[in-house]
């Protein structure tokens, strides 16, 4: 890659291939793989990532909302797409774009069936989500008979999968709770299957589930963060490759005298002679104010430069005293060093939030 001359998010599709193969290698060959590409594929680019995953042979894709699924269909993506959190106002659009809903509550199932009646469909694929302890979305165990009463004998709908989501798959201190979720899901799934008379695909594990509970991989797994290079565990992170690298450049260098201040609200007050660099990257790009005032560091020519003062909308300032660099030099905000996980932790957050927050204003470039 030539050095960048502006702020860019570099997206390494070779790293995506590596991560996909690594995660697959932890699974039985027959276990299906659903790739989660919601939120612009964790802040990268959902179309390019989905195209690559489709070429790699992924079985399923998932997004959170209907509009995200339509964007993939408009780009020519053919794989089945599960919409994890559809809103009923979009059910018509969803059916017209061949998108498959997660149905998670009696109201939602009823509304979907009503919408289906207006379309001439046979065996329209739907996915039934059960709540086993996350208490976010999902039918409860005692809804099984209601679900069956709604779908049995209906020709226009087919339950192609049943699933649940773990609350703490990355946290081995919560192993007992996770195992109770797994058991509870297996019980619900068996009851539903028995009464339904056929076996929908069962799926439960996210990325950390694949790492920590592979014995419960069931028929399919759902992975997001692992594909993008993070496993919520240092040992696993070493074996994955970050897909996204956020790079920027030095716009201007200033020499600051003792007692001067830098940035809005004069939040940084210099104790001595300092050298600062202004970067074309701010909270509107996804690097929020919580990274400012000495919390986070960026990488300039291999050296760590702290963000000083308040992060502005379109700019931030770093202390480069003692770092050999000049205007137009490249700056790594996150990638290999620091990783998105390391940078996120300086602001008490996680790689998921940092990655998905990189705004659409940042140009995406791709490494094939």
Residue 24 in the binding site for ligand PLP (CB under 6 A): no
Residue 132 in the binding site for ligand PLP (CB under 6 A): no
| DSSP assignment letter at 269 | E
Say which residue the tokens 């680019």 belong to.
45
Among the residue ranges 48-56, 222-230, 317-325, 328-336, the one whose residues contact ligand PLP (CB under 6 A): 222-230
Residue 231 in the binding site for ligand PLP (CB under 6 A): no
Question: CA-to-CA distance for 317 and 255, rounded, in angstroms?
Answer: 12
- Which residue of 222, 274, 283, 289 would you call a contact of ligand PLP, by CB under 6 A? 222
Quote the least distance from Cβ 364 to ligand PLP, whole Å: 20
Question: CA-to-CA distance for 33 and 30, rounded, in angstroms?
Answer: 9
Among the residue ranges 143-151, 217-225, 287-295, 357-365, the one whose residues contact ligand PLP (CB under 6 A): 217-225
**Encoded tokens for 43:** 């802040």
CB-based closest residue to ligand PLP: 224
- Which residue of 24, 165, 247, 283 would you call a contact of ligand PLP, by CB under 6 A? 165
Question: Is 38 a residue of the active site?
Answer: yes
Residue 351 in the binding site for ligand PLP (CB under 6 A): no
Q: Are 231 and 207 in contact (CB under 8 A)?
A: yes
- Which of 24, 38, 129, 247 is an active site residue? 38
* Per rule CB under 6 A, count of chain residues that contact ligand PLP: 10
Say which residue the tokens 């770092």 belong to.
323
Write out the binding residues for ligand PLP, residues 288-327 only, by CB under 6 A.
none
**Encoded tokens for 59:** 């079985």
- Which residue of 181, 206, 245, 339 would you call a contact of ligand PLP, by CB under 6 A? 206
Quote the least distance from Cβ 225 to ligand PLP, whole Å: 4
Question: CA-to-CA distance for 128 and 151, rounded, in angstroms?
Answer: 11
Residue 36 in the binding site for ligand PLP (CB under 6 A): yes
Quote the least distance from Cβ 324 to ligand PLP, whole Å: 39
Question: CA-to-CA distance for 228 and 12, rounded, in angstroms?
Answer: 9
Residue 216 in the binding site for ligand PLP (CB under 6 A): no
Question: CA-to-CA distance for 213 and 206, rounded, in angstroms?
Answer: 10
Quote the least distance from Cβ 17 to ligand PLP, whole Å: 17
Beta strands in the chain (DSSP E): 8-12, 32-36, 60-63, 81-83, 100-103, 124-130, 157-164, 201-203, 220-223, 244-249, 252-256, 261-262, 268-269, 274-279, 297-300, 303-308, 316-319, 330-334, 363-367
Judged by beta carbon, residue 170 or residue 319, the one nearer ligand PLP is: 170
Question: Is 213 a residue of the active site?
Answer: no
**Encoded tokens for 80:** 């089945």
In the complex, which residues of this chain contact ligand PLP (CB under 6 A)? 36, 84, 165, 206-207, 222-226
Q: Which residues are catalytic?
A: 38, 264
């Amino acid at each position: 890659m030539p050095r960048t001359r502006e702020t860019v998010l570099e997206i390494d599709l070779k790293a995506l291939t590596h991560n996909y193969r690594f995660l697959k290698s932890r699974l039985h060959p027959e276990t299906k793989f659903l790739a989660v590409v919601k939120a612009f594929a964790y802040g990268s680019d959902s179309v390019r990532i989905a195209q690559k995953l489709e070429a790699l042979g992924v079985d399923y894709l998932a997004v959170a909302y209907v509009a995200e699924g339509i964007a993939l269909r408009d780009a020519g993506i053919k794989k089945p797409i599960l919409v994890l959190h559809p809103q009923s106002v979009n059910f018509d659009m969803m059916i017209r774009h061949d998108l498959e809903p997660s149905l998670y509550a009696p109201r939602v199932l009823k509304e979907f069936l009503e919408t289906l009646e207006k379309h001439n469909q046979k065996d329209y694929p739907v996915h039934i989500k059960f709540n086993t302890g996350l208490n976010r979305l999902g039918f409860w165990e005692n809804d099984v008979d209601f679900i069956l009463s709604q779908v049995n004998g209906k020709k226009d709908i087919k339950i192609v999968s049943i699933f649940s989501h773990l609350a703490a798959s990355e946290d081995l201190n919560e192993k007992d709770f996770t195992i109770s979720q797994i058991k509870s899901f297996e019980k619900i799934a068996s009851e539903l299957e028995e009464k339904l008379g056929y076996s929908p695909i069962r799926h439960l594990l996210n990325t950390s589930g694949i790492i920590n509970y592979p014995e419960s991989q069931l028929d399919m797994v759902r992975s997001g963060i692992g594909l993008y290079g993070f496993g919520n565990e240092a040992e696993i992170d070493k074996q994955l490759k970050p897909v996204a690298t956020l790079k920027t450049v030095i716009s201007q260098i200033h020499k600051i005298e003792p007692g001067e201040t830098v940035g809005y609200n004069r939040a940084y007050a210099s104790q001595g002679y300092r050298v600062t660099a202004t970067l074309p990257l701010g909270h509107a790009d996804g690097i929020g104010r919580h990274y400012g005032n000495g919390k986070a560091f960026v990488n300039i020519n291999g050296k760590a430069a702290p963000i000083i003062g308040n992060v502005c909308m379109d700019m931030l300032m770093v202390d480069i005293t003692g770092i050999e660099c000049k205007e137009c030099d490249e700056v790594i905000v996150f990638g290999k060093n620091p990783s998105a996980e390391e940078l996120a932790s300086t602001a008490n957050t996680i790689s998921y939030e940092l990655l998905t927050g990189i705004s659409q204003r940042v140009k995406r470039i791709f490494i094939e």
